[in-house]
Structure 1
Amino acid sequence: MTISNFISHLYLSLFLPMIIATTIFVTDPPPIYTPVEDITVNCGYSGQLFNQYDQRNWSGDINSKFTPIDVHQAAGGNTSVFKEAPHRSSVSQIPYTTVRLSRSEFTYRFNLTAGQKFIRLYFYPVSYPDFDRSEALFSVKAGGFTFLNDFNASVNADADAYEEETLYREFCINIEEEEQILNITFTPSRSKASPDAYAFINGIEIVSMPPNLYYTAPEDPLDIEIIGTKNPIRVENYTAMETVYRINIGGGPLFFNKDTGLYRNWDSYSFEKDYLDDASSRWSVIPVNPSVQLEFHLNLARTPNYTAPEQVYKTGRSMGLDATINQRYNLTWGFPVPPKFYYLVRLHFCEFEPAIREIGDRVFLIYIANQTAETRADIIQWSGGNGIPTYRDYVVFMPSGTGNEEKVFLYVTLQANPQHWKTKYLDAILNGLEIFKLNETNGSLARPDPDPPHPHPQEVIPSSKDLSKSRTHFIAVVAGAVSAALVVFSVLGLLLVFRHRRKYAKGYVHSSRRAANSTKSRGGSTLPSDLCHYFSLKEIKAATENFNDTFIIGVGGFGNVYKGYIDGGATPVAIKRLKPESSQGANEFKTEIEMLSQLRHRHLVSLIGYCTDENEMVLVYDYMSRGTLADNLYHSNNPPLAWGQRLQICIGAARGLHYLHSGAKGTIIHRDVKSTNILLDEKWVAKVSDFGLSKMGMTTASKTHISTMVKGSFGYLDPEYYRRQQLTEKSDVYSFGVVLWVVLCARPALMHKVEPREMNLAEWAKFCHGEGTLDQIIDCNLKGKIDAECLDRFIEIAISCIHDKGVERPSMNEVVRGLEFALQLHQKSIASNGDGGVSTEQGCASNESIQCISATIFSEVDDPKGR
């Protein structure tokens, strides 16, 4: 902590109590928003405690409706216990008075109304009787999402840049209408390395948020742009978020009792300044102007008055420039965040400079993650006028960079307009900022723990043997440490009471344990070299001329695919070289080999061999000269595929999936069916590829799904699997249904630069089907070239595959039979037309007949007689 920070903290600690005293006992105006759910649980406590700061009763979880369920309780085994927390004047008593701890799993169950919720977890990581703080290692899951994984509370607390004693985590999830019970499960990460690991929790808070405060409203036509891609995205209800930063830019801290009824904390000017790049900025703080009367316009600015406290919009930061100052100055904040996540960045604005009232008066640029977010940021244009708050949302993906960085910086930059003649004031302004981490496709929000810091002297507890040798020295150390601690607590104590909810994202660092996971054994005796060929690295380099870039035929997040030659140059092969840092890591590499080496089918790509020399991960496949299905449908110069070819390809891929689901090896769920994983050989035979995510399924009377983390590709991902984390073969059916629409429309599953509803092809297809406008999305190269009855059958199959509920989808066997029948109808049409089926006679589908098809298919599907 710098001297200036220490002085400011000292000042606040001396005078803040007096300020607080005047606000706690004076009647505050009622909150703007009253949550439907406002649940506060003081874990390990019996009865209720009234918190004077938030004016709420915190209920204990002992012998109450909040008592958790222990997995071993019924068997009389280990159960959770509750204990009192050590009292420290620097720590708020609620909810840190007591704690619940267990060395076995326990679950809190809450009956909630449907809707979006804040979930806040409170931790006081100290040593409790029989529970050493260093052994607190656990995971937390809720609503199908992983909030924390192998979470070491003491390491996180010790790494906190502000040396705070308590931890606080805030998450956002949606409770579905049909799932109004929320389970929050705490699971100790016990292993040989951590046999005494335990889980603990001091407080749980659940607060309903206004509909679509951070989620995209279904009726909202505006999507959020993914920075750097121009791709629109919607923050749907099946997304979970974690609050990483929430800052009142240029203003003081706004504690939970000063929020709009949502009990959020807004960090202060002193916290924000730690992330501000002083070297590149000439900035000024905009003070509070109490005379400003803000107007909240729900329809005009899309900013209800509960979005943020008025104080956020009445303070801010600007560069304080005018036209005589070099416009290259900017405002830049750098926020450390864990990489490999998407982040929602919300910027709050309010223009209350009296002279700025017209569009164009102040126009500036915004960059997020060093990429252009806005080339013309005009608050007056966005909000509708002076004194009207507004905000803008952006989504950005933060990669790990050139190496395996343990943290990366998410930069937010405001720059004065370089085209200074286009603006009246050369300046930029920001009033508030929020950053949320979005869950991965596997449902995880967990971030790695920081590296453990060196132990504090007062935390080093010697063994009894050491104690007997150096008792005097030990007492001196402890006494000195306690004295020092008392001095610090006396200065900072009251401030820490109110800062216990501060985010400490400044200390994000990957743990060595996560790094070790990425260097697990990549092969050896466990891989089935007896079932496919093992290549030496020398052979692989010879086949690709030492991985020459001119041999690259494909690129993905996993690495490069090369065209190589084996058998003395006689046999062309596809060689996939996985990067060590690839998300498709050692487990997927091993799964691919184990699966494909035992599977043989005309419509599955053949694995020839692999290589693991020198820690390489290389797979060798049959070469597919026609590339991927996607390559032949869109974003390429290849001629359009005829409808008959497309049907044959779909049937081949469907047969391959049917073999996986019901073949001799048992049920295998592919889990990543998409148009880029369907390859075509020189004869246009379709072959399903990429088995790195595959799972062996189970279907019995008592077990019909696999509970597993969600993996797959956006646009193709089964929404039911995403919500419930329950994988079945019907998840493959959904993904294949998306493939069918890709084939029919010649569009990617996720599309760029289109209207919001058109971003997701499956959802767009459903919408057009219901509206009778399917003619608008079908590939124009197919117009008038498909028999109406054949198209009717194909659309029926495609729609049935993408039903929201898996039980309503057909099996792959039914899909195969349906497509084969569609092909028969097509061939019959060709025979009757005698011209290759390209005529526009009455038998072929026109725009009008396609509309009739889309209007009648559902009744045909629902009515057995219609079949």
Structure 2
Amino acid sequence: MCAASIALAISMDTNCIRIALGTILLILPCLPFLSIAEVIYPPLELFSISCGSSTNFTLDGRNWIGDNNSKLLSESQGSVAAPPNTPTTIQGPYTYARLSHSKFTYSFSLKAGPKFVRLFFYSVSYQSFDRTKACFSVTAGPYTLLRDFDASLNAAADDDPGQPDILFREYCINLEDGHKQLNITFIPSKTAQHPYSYAFINGIEIVSMPPFLYYTNPHDYARVPQIVGTLSQYHIENSLALETIYRLNVAGNDITASRDTGMLRTWKVDDNYLTTQSAPSVDFGRITKLSFNMTQNYTAPDEVYRTVRNMGMGSMNMRFNLTWQLPVDSGFTYLLRLHFCQLDPQVRLAGDLMFFIYIEDQLVTNWADVLLWTYNQKGVPVVRDYVVSIPVNQKKPNLSLKLHPHPQSNIKDAQLNALELFKINESTGNLAGPNPDPPQQTPKAPVENSKKKSSCTTRTLAAVAGAVSGVVWVSLVVAFFLIKRKKNVAIDKCSNQNDGSSHGDGSSSLPTNLCRHFSIEEIRAATNNFDELFIVGTGGFGNVYKGYIEDSSTPVAIKRLKPGSRQGVDEFVTEIEMLSQLRHLNLVSLLGYCYESNEMILVYEFMDHGALRDHLYDTDNPSLSWKQRLHICIGVARGLNYLHTGVKHMIIHRDVKSTNILLDAKWAAKVSDFGLSRIGPTGISMTHVNTGVKGSIGYLDPEYYKRLRLTEKSDVYSFGVVLLEVLSGRQPLLHWEEKQRMSLVKWAKHCYEKGTLSRIVDAELKGQIAPVCLRKFGDVALSCLLEDGTQRPSMKDVVGMLELVLQLQDSAANDGVMESGRDYEDSEDVFGSSHSSVHVSDYSKSTGLSTTSEGDRSYGSKESFVLISNDVFSEIKDPKGR
């Protein structure tokens, strides 16, 4: 009866399954381990292999099959099956193991799509296989899951006393179309010194998963993970593999595989990783029925969202954080998923409970509000994804997550329901981290028989490792001081205070009229000791002040990194090195810097009208006229062209956006914020720079963030987005808009292709733009946004095309073809049947206009959850007049 009921339920669709199985659970106590959540997502493929076994068994929702009864072993040169010398009472595929001194492979015929790949190990001795000699690598398709994996060392380092010597690893791997076989290979780490190493495995499981559970949905731009430290996004492409590092049910209990949503995931408690005090666990039970309208119902079990960790009510909450420390391998990039659900009856409206989220001590949102995210709907689970890179470190570092109450929140608290952390493979396909250090042992008498030494953990190896570690430590100390000295030299290049003398490396310092060193006393005097009344802008790095120098006669913009912070030093140095050597009418001028008393401060010319963004949308400032906007666009294009062609080595700005375009007293546009800038390709054969993705959401060149190849055409793409901002008077991304209009670029492309670009025009500009001018301006903007970077125009061509647009506008006005108050919505055929994009390569010939730019003439949302990084010194959030 039980089996028949289950079979009937599985044949239904997802909703029917939940209803039917819920009824079954009430009627049939013979299935106490089953839950409603179990069959929310029935896996299309499920293989649970008990390696080395000849028997099949069912346990915890799995049907385990012995590999002796299968044809999965495609290569097994001399592998043997053996029971452990020390049987375990822990249930699972641990009664036998597959072991071999040679390579062996399991081959699985699978359908395309993402899969969980799980490996189960019981690290003890098996017959003649000594546990200390188990040292091997594991590959799955093109990915290296484990490398020189010392099972006994990892088991000794595992801190789970409930499962001694049990090791579990889980991975996410996607099979592309056309690849229907996955080979999992175990390779003993044999060397001349360790010829007896062997590989083993107790259990393998492969479970299919929904296509966009962890991988990025290319059609859902709003849910792309945010890169910590930038406003950039990181697409979890199908070509990537992930390793599950943690899956924690915060403040709840362990959730076994059978109580997951169908994919047999295990959720552990978070107690071992919480490092600060918190309120007693809160379990809201079945107070409110959960509504999965912001995420899929298989994302996590209901139970995850009904327990929550918070700080509790108290006036002291503002003085500390809710903190988790998660040990990870250094040198890798990680995907961190945070789960939230608001069920607290005391939280009624958005704004009642708001908090900050810090990852690796970098602010990723200053307005986390679960009810705001769910439009004041209670019981609606939501997730937030972040990608963070952990730099190479000698020791195993901790990845930190900190939540802190918002000072404007009605309830001074923070909350979290669950978290998941995944390691992302390196470019080589590697996911393997290092083995733990051998446990320290007290000295023992010499052992006569050297064969008793472990193949991976002999005292000789420990001694050699100790000596090497000592050398490495000394080298790192020396390297640290050399790097520090190099950074100081880079800064000292600008620290000539009046004498023009040479500095440490013998190179001449820059002339004082290009870069001045300000003392901290001068900065304090200029800002009235950093008086808050002088603040004109703020960002993740700190504040921007309007100050006065030269006996209070000259206004300046003073950008101050948060005191005591060591983050942003690279951007600080880059900004000085770049701007101290650049002079152009359309680039903001760096007047000097201050680098003393633990302060990093930059001093710029003051820009009276602030950022371009503050004159386009979400502002009380008067609207800019169309001609003002055209002149501003031309100025920006000239500044970027100078960076690309007017200096010795091409400079790629890498963060062109409307907040980084400043306007002076005469409305002249100047490009600012060079902290993310890079020198372009330097060799004749080089076409791009390989570098990590940095920039701002909505402006990133798709070629750059997909292929990590940076070119000057990446600036061209970003400038194309700015052109659309100028035309439409809206920001690049509006998450609350209907799907078609959410992305400004996609919406503009759609309208452009339909010949109705007039639909995106800012209402403030209606009647100001000549139809022929709009047509040409659209050609320019959309040519900058071509997917293929090589097809985009150069900034030199963009300058010429925009100058033509301005001429067309002036000609139309002089000819009297402009009608005051004309509404372009009445001119849907503004492009006519011949509408097509401009062919940039023939631009100069077709227009007959000179494309000589100013650079060639050699001049010497505010979305609450989209934030500026703490460590990117060069970016400004909501900058005002500077």
Instruction: Tell whether the 8 Å contact from 1:559 to 1:576 is kept in structure 2 after alignment.
Output: yes
Q: How does 1:478-557 map to 2 (within 5 A)?
A: 520=484, 523-527=487-491, 528-529=493-494, 530=508, 532=510, 539-545=519-525, 547=527, 548-550=529-531, 551-557=534-540
Equivalent position of 2:589 in the other structure? 606
Structure-2 change in CA distance of 1:860 and 1:712 (3 Å): closer
Residue pairs, 1:263-342, within 5 angstroms: 263-267=264-268, 280-281=279-280, 336=324
Identify the residue that residue 486 of structure 1 maps to in structure 2.
none
| Residue of structure 1 in register with 2:857 after alignment | none
Contact (CA 8 Å) 2:660, 2:672: kept in 1 or not?
yes
**Who is 1:649 aligned against?**
632
Instruction: Report the CA distance between 1:710 and its aligned residue.
Output: 0.8
User: Relative to structure 1, is the Cα distance of residues 748 and 252 closer, same or farther in structure 2, using a 3 angstrom cutoff?
Assistant: closer
Q: Does 2:607 correspond to 1:624?
A: yes
Output the amino acid matched with 1:542.
E
- 1:596 aligns to 2:579 (yes or no): yes
Counterparts of 1:564 and 1:262 in 2: how far apart (Å)? 59
Contact 2:252 2:308 in 1 (8 A): no
For residue 265 of structure 1, report the CA deviation from its aligned partner: 1.7
What does 1:127-526 align with in structure 2 at a 5 Å threshold?
162=160, 208-213=208-213, 246=247, 253-256=254-257, 259=260, 262-267=263-268, 280-281=279-280, 336=324, 344-346=337-339, 373-374=369-370, 391-393=381-383, 407-410=400-403, 434-436=418-420, 456-458=439-441, 462=443, 520=484, 523-526=487-490
Aligned to 2:4: none
Equivalent position amino acid for 1:209 in 2: M
Which region of structure 1 is more displaced relative to structure 2, 737-746 or 272-281?
Answer: 272-281
- Shifted more, 747-756 versus 665-674: the winner is 747-756
Q: Secondary structure at the match of 2:603?
A: strand
* Letter matched to residue 262 of structure 1: M
Instruction: Give the aligned partner of residue 809 of structure 1.
Output: 792
Partner of 1:761: 744
Following superposition, the deviation at residue 788 of structure 1 comes to 0.7
How big is the shift at 1:100?
Answer: 12
Opposite residue 263 of structure 2, the aligned amino acid is L
Going from structure 1 to structure 2, the CA distance change for 1:305 and 1:805 (only over 3 Å counts) comes to: same
RMSD of aligned alpha carbons: 7.1
Q: Partners in 2 of 1:65 and 1:768 — Cα distance? A: 57
1:742-775 CA distance string (max 9 Å, x none):
1112223344754455444323433444566644
Equivalent position of 2:701 in the other structure: 718
Query: Given residue 604 of structure 1, which amino acid in structure 2 is its aligned partner?
Result: L
Aligned AA (1:661): H
Amino acid aligned to 1:714: I
SS at match of 2:722: helix
Deviation at 1:812, TM superposition (A): 2.0
Name the CA shift for 1:183/1:89 in 2 (closer, same or farther; >3 Å). Answer: closer
The percentage of counterpart residues that share the same residue type is 39
Alignment partner of 1:627: what SS? coil
Displacement after TM superposition at 1:697 (Å): 2.1
- Given the superposition, is the C-alpha separation of residues 363 and 684 from structure 1 closer, same or farther in structure 2, using an over 3 Å criterion? closer
2:690 pairs with 1:707: yes
Match of 1:639 among 622, 626, 636: 622
CA distance in 2, matches of 1:344, 1:746: 33
Structure 1 stretch 761-770 or stretch 667-676: which is displaced more?
A: 761-770
Residue 35 of structure 1 contacts residue 262 of structure 1 at CA under 8 Å; is this kept in 2?
A: yes
Secondary structure of the residue aligned to 1:655 is helix
Distance in 1, matches of 2:57 and 2:481, equals 43
Partner SS, residue 824 of structure 1: helix
* Partner SS state of residue 798, structure 1: helix
Q: Provide the C-alpha distance between the structure 1 equivalents of 2:174 and 2:524, rounded to a whole number of angstroms.
A: 50
Summarize deviations over 1:555-608 as a string: whole Å, max 9, x none. Answer: 222233333444454544333333367696222222222223333333222333
Measure, in 2, the Cα distance between the counterparts of 1:627 and 1:141.
Answer: 53
Deviation at 1:724, TM superposition (A): 2.0
Instruction: Give the gaps of 5 or more residues in structure 2.
Output: 1-29, 185-198, 328-332, 358-366, 391-396, 449-453, 455-475, 495-507, 847-882
Q: CA deviation at 1:740?
A: 0.8
Unaligned runs of 5+ in 1: 1-21, 68-83, 102-108, 185-199, 227-231, 288-294, 320-325, 352-359, 384-389, 419-429, 473-477, 479-511
Q: SS where residue 536 of structure 2 aligns? A: strand
Give how far 1:678 is off: 1.6
Match of 1:77 in 2: none
Aligned to 2:671: 688
8 Å contact kept, 2:225–2:235: no
Pick closer, same or farther for the CA change 1:348–1:592 going to 2, 3 Å.
Answer: closer
Is the Cα–Cα contact under 8 Å of residues 142 and 429 in structure 2 kept in the other structure?
A: no
Q: Distance between the aligned counterparts of 1:856 and 1:443, measured in 2?
A: 47
**Residues 1:30 and 1:704: Cα distance change in structure 2 (over 3 Å):** same
Q: Deviations over 1:593-643 (max 9, x none)?
A: 222333333322233333333443233333333322223323333322121
**CA deviation digits over 1:690-734, x for unaligned, max 9?**
222122222768542222111111121122322222222221111
C-alpha contact (below 8 Å) 1:592/1:691 kept by paired residues: yes
Out of 801, 804, 807, the position equivalent to 1:824 is 807
TM-score, length of structure 1 as denominator length: 0.59
**Any conservation in 2 of the 1:350–1:379 contact (CA below 8 Å)?**
no
Q: Contact conserved, 2:526 with 2:549, CA < 8 A, in 1?
A: no
Q: CA deviation at 1:793?
A: 1.0
Q: Residue 666 and residue 217 in structure 1: after superposition, are their counterparts in 2 closer, same or farther (change >3 A)?
A: closer
Q: Cα gap change, 1:614/1:315 in structure 2, threshold over 3 Å: closer, same or farther? A: closer
Query: 2:824 is matched with which residue: 846, 850, 866?
Result: 846
User: Is the 1:443–1:710 Cα contact (8 Å) retained in structure 2?
Assistant: no
In the aligned structure 2, how far is the partner of 1:179 from the partner of 1:804?
Answer: 28
Gap change, CA 1:576 and 1:285, over 3 Å in 2: closer
Change in Cα spacing, 1:220 to 1:316, as seen in structure 2 (3 Å) is same
Give yes or no for contact 2:277–2:322 (8 Å, CA) kept in 1: no
SS in 1 for 2:419: strand
Map of 1:748 onto structure 2 = 731
CA distance in 2, matches of 1:670, 1:100: 54
Query: Structure 1 pair 439/676, CA: closer, same or farther in 2 (3 Å)?
Result: farther
The CA deviation at 1:786 is 0.5
Residues in 1 aligned to 2:200 and 2:654: alpha-carbon distance in whole angstroms: 35
**Residue identity opposite 1:336 in structure 2:** W
> Are the equivalent residues in 2 in contact too, given 1:363–1:377 (CA < 8 A)?
no
Post-superposition Cα deviations, 1:536-560, rounded to whole Å, max 9, x if no partner, equal 8763531441643343333222233
Q: Structure 1 counterpart of 2:540, which letter?
A: G
Are the counterparts in 1 of residues 114 and 210 from structure 2 also a CA contact under 8 Å? yes
Which one-letter code corresponds to 1:673 in the other structure? V
Cα separation, partners in 2 of 1:182 and 1:659, compared to 1, 3 Å:
farther
| One-letter identity of the residue aligned with 2:556 | V
Q: How many residues align?
A: 692
Q: TM-score, normalised by structure 2?
A: 0.58
Q: Which secondary structure does the structure 1 equivalent of 2:543 belong to?
A: strand
User: One-letter code of the match for 1:264?
Assistant: R
Does 2:546 match 1:558?
no
What is the match of residue 728 of structure 1? 711
* In 1: Cα distance, 2:76 partner to 2:636 partner: 50
